[in-house]
Amino acid sequence: MTAFWLRAALSGLVIALASTVARRSPALGSLIVSLPLVSVLSIIWLWRDGAESGQLADYIQNTFWFFLPSIPMFLVIPMLLRRGLAFWPALGIGCGMTILLYLAMTAGLARFGVRL
């Protein structure tokens, strides 16, 4: 259980650092969150917990496929905010769109034999 809390604390520190830095420098805060720190940390945790190489490879590859449909959210939400839509509806639309894109990506890849 100690390992869980250590992982949670470290992951939380990354988020806290990024949001604190973003108050002073949105670009630097964005750079911090754009780094695949959560992915790298989770890969390290899986490896440390004894995951097989095949498991790690599947996890990393699946992360790539799920990352792609999330990219448009980072364009749609700012566009909606700049057009005057309130924060929560813009976030909801961005997240809803991302969920639909996840479903489309999963179905599309399955047609080519890629299972997520």
For 56-73, how does the pLDDT look when each residue is reduced to its tens digit (9 = 90+)? 999 999 999 999 999 999
**pLDDT, tens digit (0-9, with 9 covering 90-100), for 14-56:** 889 989 999 999 999 888 888 888 889 889 989 999 999 999 9
Sign of CA dihedral 15, 59, 93, 72: positive
Q: State the pTM of this model.
A: 0.78
Task: Specify the long-range contacts of residues 86-89, CB closer than 8 Å, at least 24 apart.
Answer: none
Q: Looking at residue 37, what is its pLDDT? A: 82
Q: Looking at residue 31, what is its pLDDT? A: 87
Q: What is the 3-state secondary structure (H, E, C) of 78-100?
A: HHHHHCCCCHHHHHHHHHHHHHH
Residue 101's nearest CA partner among 83, 79, 84, 116 is 116
